[in-house]
Structure 1
Amino acid sequence: MRKILSMLVLSGCMLTGLSAHAGAIDDAVKRGTLRVGMDPTYMPFEMTNKRGEIIGFEVDLLKAMAKSMGVKLELVSTSYDGIIPALLTDKFDMIGSGMTLTQERNLRINFSEPFIVVGQTLLVRKELQGEIKSYKDLNDGKYRITSKIGTTG
């Protein structure tokens, strides 16, 4: 199974960083609160615990960032397919959900330097082991493929 999955690793990599609109950090400092939009469904970067709190690796980074800025952190749960429009309409100051830097996105919002690089992988059901040897095999209509709306996947 590992061999199949490794063969299906797509060459595109996701550069995970933070995204913001111009002047957002200055506005947050003046206001005393850094508002960060995220879709808390990307474990271990951001997720919701049993108490409904958003936790994760990116949340820990954002807490440290807010502390160093001397502001409170406010996390705003937002669906991923609407996260850029919400940023552009000032629902929050920045995006704190892993996002692939694309030319189209880069023309609309400002990206930080990436703090981690992760690849994209296709996962297949166990019963398809040995049947799918390449991502090209998935061009057959008998397979259904899914991904999250708004992502490069």
Structure 2
Amino acid sequence: MSLPRLTRIVLAALVPAAALLHAVTSHADTLDDIKSRGKMIVAIDPTFAPYEYTDASNAIVGYDPAILAAVAKRLGVTIEYQRMAFSGIIPGLLAHSFDMEGSALNVTAERAKRIAYVVPTSKTVNGALVRLDFKKIAAKPTPESLAGMTGAVKTGSAPESILKQFNETLKSRNLAPINILSVDSVDQTVAALMTRRADFVFDDLTVLAGVVRQNPGKMKLTGELGPSQWISLATRPEDTRLNKAISDEILAMKKSGELARLQKQYLGVTFDTPSADFIPAQ
């Protein structure tokens, strides 16, 4: 039985409208919500100086907040920070608890399966921080030189993963594993070191150099240890337009020299970061 002519006309009119609605919703992402409310909600663990930390007035400052301020200005919005432990940031991001994450993340193939990195903003080279009187780790350490010692790291961090990889190497060589003490913040790793619950702290050298400056005459750094990695911020994989907007601003800052200026100001060094193809192979 054929449909009445009026019904056919109405349906014909609805089909393009439905297609348009599908096209709009399929391209909508968190960027629309941010612009609509005029505010970008960012999760951050402000215990990772010089990347993100709090000043004397408890305001969140550092290298990443400076970059995020430029992104917010580009989008014409403000930033609302949600403070939380580093270990909860990626789960919270994937649970849509906030718009994006604003803590420095090491770029790894494993994480790239779950989150979408923006273009890198920095580079990490790890090392060990020890008490000034500690003589058991050489100035140029190797994984083998850490065998049987206790290392403090942040829970869920790339340094924690690297120590676990070191333990695989030590196991294959029939050496004692590193006892990994995982805690929530850099401050807690340093406290573990100074109370002798840990023999060393393993983290990014730019971060550890700041700890040494804050504690003169108490600690020292060993040399580089382990692989280097790019550092970035991240969005959910489906938020492609938000991710691109953030990346575009970082690339503009790189072109103008502003990114290098912020690196020098906060990190003490500059890095020539890539614009594409920075995810490591599995």
The normalised TM-score by structure 2 is 0.43
Deviations 1:6-64 (A, max 9, x none): xxxxxxxxxxxxxxxx9333331222111111100111111012222111121111111
Structure having the higher helix fraction is: 2
Aligned to 2:53: 47
Q: Distance in 2 between matches of 1:144 and 1:76?
A: 32
Of 128, 137, 157, 1:132 maps to 137
Find the residue that maps to 1:132 and give its secondary structure.
coil
User: Is 2:149 the partner of 1:149?
Assistant: no
The aligned amino acid for 1:61 is I
Aligned to 2:94: 88
Deviations 1:39-90 (A, max 9, x none): 0011111101222211112111111110110111111111100100111112
Q: Which moved more, 1:24-33 or 1:40-49?
A: 24-33
User: Is 2:64 the partner of 1:58?
Assistant: yes
The aligned amino acid for 1:132 is I
Find the residue that maps to 2:92 and give its secondary structure.
helix
Unpaired segments ≥5 residues, structure 2: 1-27, 160-282
**Deviation at residue 103 of structure 1 after TM alignment:** 1.7
Count of residues in Structure 1 that have an aligned counterpart in Structure 2: 129
Larger RCO (alpha carbons 8 Å, 6+ apart): 1
Identity of aligned residues (%): 35
Q: Which runs of 4+ in 1 moved over 4 A?
A: none
Which one has the largest radius of gyration?
A: 2
Unpaired segments ≥5 residues, structure 1: 1-21
Contact 2:106 2:124 (8 Å CA) reproduced: no
The normalised TM-score by structure 1 is 0.78
Aligned to 1:99: 105
